[in-house]
Amino acid sequence: MLTIGIAGGTGCGKTTVVNQILNELPEGEVGVISQDSYYKDTSHLTYEERTNINFDHPRSIDFDLLTEHIKALKKNAPIHQPVYSFVKHNRTGDTILTHPRKVMIVEGILILTNPELRDMFDIKIFVHADSDERLIRRLKRDIAERGRDLNEVLNRYQNTLKPMHEQFIEPMKAYADIIIPNNRYNNVAVDIVRSIINENL
């Protein structure tokens, strides 16, 4: 199984890059796992307590479960991916049965911060976008899709997103095999990744 890790700051366009890579590849051969499914279970906390969690710090991610799941997939065993609700800031209790694929893409802002997980990736990709571009994308997404208001998004950006990006995410560029600048579509970089995947398929 070829395992690809795609990281980058919030709103950098990771999902767009993933979709570009998947486009034109054989259906059913490539699977995607999102770090967002692996936020730690916070059922023991009240909603107010959950809203105060720093979700941009590596300790908010259940890396033990994520690495366990990648190991299982590599051994050709299916996994039960948790389902996470951004509205409730918690897992829903549901899971998604995920089968092994010839190529598995793992995407998320913090996936390169965990050494054990990082070592599992055959290819490590970092998607880069300017901070103002990322903020604009984050604003649009959180207001439209996650029920946040403008002040909430801006406060979170200033107090946690920006400092966590500078402390944990930006330094991960040093581990990347490929850095994709994504202020606009970068078709050449995506074509290179797609070619590598096709060779493995």
Q: Where does residue 195 rank: exposed (0-12), middle (13-18), buried (19+ CB within 10 A)?
A: exposed
The 10s digit of each residue's pLDDT in 128-141 is 887 777 788 778 88
Q: What is the CATH number of the domain that holds 148?
A: 3.40.50.300
| Structural domain contains residue 177 | yes
Domain range spanning residue 128?
2-192
| Structural domain contains residue 201 | no
Per DSSP, helices labelled H in the chain are: 14-22, 47-51, 63-74, 115-118, 131-145, 150-156, 162-164, 187-200
Residue type, 150: L
| Structural domain contains residue 21 | yes
| Structural domain contains residue 34 | yes
| Structural domain contains residue 103 | yes
The 10s digit of each residue's pLDDT in 6-44 is 999 887 788 888 988 888 788 889 999 999 999 999 999
Residue type, 87: V
| Structural domain contains residue 199 | no
The 10s digit of each residue's pLDDT in 73-124 is 999 999 999 999 988 888 999 999 999 999 999 999 999 999 999 999 999 9
| Structural domain contains residue 119 | yes
| Structural domain contains residue 198 | no
Say what the pTM is: 0.87
Q: In total, how many domains does the chain have?
A: 1
